[in-house]
Each structure stands twice: as C-alpha cells, then as structure tokens.
A and B are shown apart, each in its own frame.
Chain A
C-alpha cells in the first residue's frame, strides 16, 4: 500500500511537471523545446501501442507506422469533409482499429519473422497506396488539414495546445496499459509470449487473444496519427516511411519490452536525442549526430540487452 501510494505521488508529480513544462520552456524562451516534446509524446503513444503487440504478446511488427498513417489520413480526409475535429479523432481511431483487425485476421497465423516481413510489406503497401491514390489523398503533394485550436483558453500557442493534448493522450495510454497489463488479459498475453503451446493447453484462446493485442495496438496509433495531422495541419506519405516503423520497434526493445516506464524512456531518448544533439553540439560536430545516434543505439543494446528499464515480470523470469 505504501509503495502504491508512493508511486501514485511520483506519477502525479511527473504529470504536473510535464504539464508545467511548456510554460517553463516559454518562460526561458525556448519554444522549440515544446515542439520536440510534442513529437516525443507522439512516439510515446506509438511505443505504448506497439508494446501491446510486441511487448505483451511477443508478435513482431515492422509496419506499425502504417497505422499511424491511416489515423493521420483518416483525420485529414474527415476534416476535408467538414467533420468536426473531435469526431474526426474518434473516426480515425475506429477506422485504424478496423483495418488492424482485418489485417490481423488475415495474417496472424504467420509466425515470428514471417509476420515481421508481412507487416513490413503491409506498411510499404499502405504508404504506396496513399502515395498513388491522388484522388483521395492528393498523392505525394500531401494534404492540408483545416486548423483546429482546442485549448485556446489555456495558451494562444498551438504548439502548447497540442503538447497538452498529446500529454493527455500519453496519460491515457499509460493508464490503459497499466490496467490491461495486470488484468486476466495481460497475463494471458504473457503466457502466450512465453510458450504458446503451454498457453493453449492451459485453456487460453490463443488466436483470439493474439488478435486482441494486435488490434488494440492500433487504437494508440490511430490516436497519435489524428493528433499529428491536426497539429501539423499537413500530412504527406513522406512522414510514414519504413524507417519510422523501425524507430518505434527500437523504442520498445531498447526501453524494455512490456515495460511501460521503459517505453516512455525509450521514446524520450531515441526521439529526443537527435534534436538535443542539434541543440548542443557545436557546428563542426552537428552533422555527426546520426552517427552518434547509431553508436548510442549499439552501445545501449550491448550494455542493457534486456532494455533500459526491463519490466519487473521479465526481470524476475530471467533471474530465475
């Protein structure tokens, strides 16, 4: 109980600090940091989403960013059709979920790396279809999104408004992950990940639970995509390349698969590092930032192969 209370206080403090952050950044005249933090937040939501598929159920997905794209493009198209923005967000999440469920129904019987390759293929197909279907998506030129300024009463700066919305999204994702993780469903996923045959023999409906983890992931991607589109007011296929999927996988694995705190830290480091280096490195070193980024990725994996903050459940399994 004491521990629970402590963690509640710590969480509350972290949330308060995060909410105060954009105003502090503005006070010290570094509004650029608010944008960076917003992008980090979007990848936290994406990472927590992929964590359901990869971290909990152990399904390897290399095309996750396509669902971010579907969420963003659904929002952009809905906004073009003069749908109110909150409804567009709901629509984005619903359509992303539906597409993900359809994909899952088709491909989830594939195993291991075959699943990874098929999701990678789907990711490329989705991006190319968006790129080629000019009549619906305006092709490579991208789509403008009608501006929506939801929190104008708090701050006139759209970056701050969206930062706060994204923060709410991250909090929602954390709460949802925590609740599901320790539920019957969460334990069933871990059982499947650790030994599918044993899980099936214990009476877990493996197919259904895998599909559930795979599908739920997409709700987060859809939400993040919708916020991204509304914030940027512009979407293009360029934002959803294969590399972005790889980045989300790296966030989950480097942070610690199945660990909520790990995924948050992974997103903070991997998405925050390049802009941080751009900000701090001197002119002669600035071009080296991606080289350093790669080196850090290798070294971090070598020194913490189980992730920066491995989940307590995994750690206890590994030490036993």
Chain B
C-alpha cells in the first residue's frame, strides 16, 4: 500500500518538478514570475495532440509516436515562450519589476482564450501511444504509463543538469543568474541567454503538458492553471531560482498530496490546504525555501 502510494507520488511529483523547473529557470535570471508558464504547458499538450490527430500516419505508433509527441510539444512550448518573452516581457525588463508580471497575466488570458475560441471549449481525449500494462514491483503495481512518465521526467532533468553544468551556454546561464549586468560586461549576450532560458523552460513545461495529458487521458484549454500554481508553489518551497530546489519541491508536493489523499480522512478535500500550510510553515522556518540561498539585503 505504502509502496503504491509512493509510486503514485513520484509520478505526480515528476510532472510538478518539470513545470517547477520552468518557473525557477526564468526566475533565477530575471526574478520574474512567468505567469503565462501554465499556458505554455497547455499549448505543449495541445500541439502534441494536434500532431497525433492530424498526422497519425507520419510518425507511426509506439515509441516513435511517443518521441514525436514529446518533440512537437516541447518545441512548440519552447518557441511560444521565446516569442512571448521577446514581445511581452523584454520591453518591460528595465522598467519595473511588476510590469512584466501584469503583461504575463495578459498573455496568459490571451493564450487560454485563443485555445478556447479556436480549438476547443471542451475536454479532448489525449492519445496514449504506449500499451498500458501492469508490472508488479516491490508489492506495488506499476503501470507502464507511470514508468514512461518517470523515465521521461528523470531523463529530461538529467539533460538539463548536463546542459546547465557542462555546456558553454549553461555556464552563461549560471553567470547571468548570478549577476546579469556583470555577465553582460564579460561579453555574454544576455538577451540571447534569456531567450535560451525561456526556450528551455518552456520546452520542459511542454514535456510536462504531454505527460499530464497522458496521465489524465484528456486535456482542456484551462488545464495549465492548477498544475501551474502547484508547481510554482513547489519551486518556491524548494527555493525559487534553485534548480535542485525545484525538483525537490515538486517531489515533496507530490508526496504530500498523495499521502494526504491516502491517509487522512476527507484528505482529498483538505489536500491543498495541507500543501499550502506546509509551504507557509517551511517558509517561516526557512524564508528562502529549502535549498534557496539567503537573499542578500539590499544596501
């Protein structure tokens, strides 16, 4: 029973972590809450669905279909994020801290209503290109879908780790996160680094959208809001701006939710109350999140 719950928690946590990474990457460099990230992940899911609906023959079935859906969803979500950054956030970057947030809220409304008006007002069923079988493991019954979700999420996190730690662009990203104006003086093209960051964050969100669609079997124009808000909470719980923190926060949030549902009477009703209470208590004890660095006092 416990093993089963933990497995479910890991699956949910993996999706939250991927979304939380998108928030934290952007925040780490611009100190901006990308309010439209939840819509970016929704668009990733819709793009993958569009591919599966309109070009089913082009990419076959099984693993290749799965891969094609991921690539399409990630590329679309990443590109949308880059375009949005270019036109709605960049002009406001130097102006004030809250202006980009309001702009992001507007973008979020536009994207959600765009899908609502031009694609569908209803839930659409989402294809699962893998055959769902059950495997027994340590007394828990694992569906192959859960394995796909966990595998994909962990693989992407590994890729991100490699990208940030071992590539030149990753190094530039870390430099910008540290101090964007000094990084500029060292010859780093900050605009380009920020665009890449938005692409990577958006692509991870798009992957999460595809996983979300496969996990629940249907998608809707407003699907992004709830996981988006939860994942943002997770990113803050772990220490916003910190990559490991986002992953840790996502898994903790998944665990909290699943355990609250499983072990507390009326748990499903109180699940979010418990999650947010834990968030508040953690932040009161550690004001910069679990792994966040202590924010420097402005002098």
Contacts and interface: CB of A to CB of B under 8 A. Distances in A.
A118 B237 CA distance: 10
Interface in A98-133: 106-107, 109-114, 116-118, 120-122, 124-125, 128-129, 132
B79 interface: no
A124 B272 contact: yes
Interface size class of A (residues with CB under 8 A): 35 or more
Nearest to A287: B117
A257 B98 contact: yes
Contacts of B95: 305-306
B106 A197 contact: no
B45 to A, nearest CB: 20
Interface stretch (A174-182, A215-223, A288-296): A288-296
A118 B280 contact: yes
Interface in A240-256: 242, 246, 249-250, 253-254
B201 to A, nearest CB: 16
Interface stretch (B137-145, B156-164, B206-214, B281-289): B281-289
A298 B101 CA distance: 10
B218 interface: no
Contact of B102 (A117, A250, A288): A250
Interface stretch (B180-188, B228-236, B256-264): B228-236
Contacts of A14: none
Nearest to B121: A287
A315 to B, nearest CB: 13
A301 B284 contact: no
A287 to B, nearest CB: 6
A278 to B, nearest CB: 14
B152 interface: no
B113 A110 contact: no
A253 B99 contact: yes
Interface in A278-309: 287-288, 290-291, 293-299, 301-302, 305-306
B98 A118 contact: no
B105 interface: yes
Given A125-B276, A242-B229, A305-B92, A132 B269 contact: yes
Contacts, number: 124
Contacts of A114: 236, 240, 283, 287-289
Nearest to A303: B91
B190 interface: no
B105 A246 contact: yes
Contacts of B113: 288, 290-291, 294
A291 B114 contact: yes
B75 to A, nearest CB: 24
A122 B288 CA distance: 18
B130 interface: no
A294 B179 CA distance: 32
Contact of B270 (A132, A298, A299, A302): A132
Interface string B224-253: 000001001100100010000000000000
A208 interface: no
A107 B103 CA distance: 27
A111 B102 contact: no
Interface residues of B, number: 45
A306 B240 CA distance: 26
B41 to A, nearest CB: 17
Nearest to B110: A294
A29 interface: no
B96 A306 contact: yes
Interface in B54-88: 88
Nearest to B98: A253
Interface stretch (B13-21, B166-174, B291-299): B291-299
B287 A113 contact: no
A265 to B, nearest CB: 15
Contacts of B109: 290-291, 293-294, 297
A117 B236 contact: yes
Nearest to B104: A298
A193 B109 CA distance: 30
A100 B283 CA distance: 18
B51 interface: no
Contacts of A293: 109
A118 B117 CA distance: 34
Nearest to A252: B98
A306 B95 CA distance: 8
A122 B283 CA distance: 13
B134 interface: no
7 contacts: A110-B284, A116-B33, A128-B273, A132-B269, A253-B98, A294-B106, A305-B92
Closest 9 CB pairs of A and B: A294-B109, A297-B106, A298-B106, A121-B276, A294-B110, A291-B113, A305-B95, A305-B99, A301-B103
